[in-house]
Amino acid sequence: MRKTLKQLMALKNMQKLAMVTAYDAWMATMADEAVDIILVGDSLGMVVQGQSSTLPVTLDEMIYHTKMVSRASSNAFLVMDLPFLSYQTSVKDALRNAGRCLKETMAQMVKLEGGTRVLPQIKALSDSGIPIMGHLGLTPQSIHSIGSYVKQAKTKKEADLLINEALQVEKAGASMIVLENIPHDLAKIVTNELKIQTIGIGAGPSCDGQVQVFHDLLGLYPNFSPRHAVNFLKLGKKIQKAIRQYAEKVRMDELISE
Ligand code: KIV
């Protein structure tokens, strides 16, 4: 039985939530029994598709990947990202597209980025029974206005704005919120102020849960690891070595297989 939103929300101040991204059936199989939440993030644009940002990812692509993850998991609560321009354009678009996500993939919640500017969308989705995960701080879909993937809300004014936006996102109906790449003390304040759970990435240890990108967690890219990544394995280097060994055996005519 998949975990439910109600079960997870009841864990605030009792147990931290572990969330990881997954983008296909194999990844889902690897993660499903260990974590509370699987996120099919639009980070797939960068780590799977090789794009330089998450902006090109389409709704159809998100649905395609989430279907694979959904088929191969049965324990973790399943969340998917609404990609760039699938909800910012209007409340109507947000409803139609989030509705498609739940209908076609069996995801249990959608995540969208932003504060004040998407409050009407959050309210409309929540009023329609579609659970929402908010996302504040470093919001990669706004990379061209932010400029680079650096720590956000470092000044007092920006921090106050973020606290206020988090409270509004909660009030509009979000049930959880990702805090990405913000100062640790700010994440602690937001976590204490909100009744809903905060899930941090590069936001320090005080959040109600943590999220990592699958490839970062396992070190799948041999020469790249973001600062906030927690590498439990350096798997990329091992995979490269294994494939190099295979190629050498082929070239030396030493490959033995049935
Ligand atoms: O797209 C994604 O994977 C995300 C997480 C990093 C929170 O938004």
- pLDDT tens-digit profile of 51-104? 999 999 999 999 999 999 999 999 999 999 999 999 999 999 999 999 999 999
Q: Is the residue at 232 inside a domain?
A: no
Active site residue 180: yes
Query: Is pTM, for the whole model, over 0.85?
Result: yes
Q: Is the residue at 248 inside a domain?
A: no
Residue nearest to atom 6 of ligand 1 (CA): 213
23-37 per-position pLDDT tens digit? 999 999 999 999 999
Q: Is the residue at 229 inside a domain?
A: no
pLDDT bucket at 233, cuts 50 / 70 / 90: confident
Q: Is the residue at 83 inside a domain?
A: yes
Cα of 41 vs centre of ligand 1, distance in Å, is: 5
Q: How many domains does the chain fold into?
A: 1
Q: Is the residue at 87 inside a domain?
A: yes
Range of the domain at 97: 5-218
Q: Is the residue at 235 inside a domain?
A: no
| pLDDT in the model for residue 256 | 81
Whole-number percent of the chain with pLDDT over 70: 100
Q: Is the residue at 12 inside a domain?
A: yes
SS3 content of the chain, % helix, strand, coil (to 5): 45, 15, 45
DSSP conformation class of 16: P
Output the domain CATH number for residue 167.
Answer: 3.20.20.60
Q: CB within 6 Å of ligand 1 — which residues?
A: 21, 39, 41-43, 81, 178, 180, 201, 211, 213
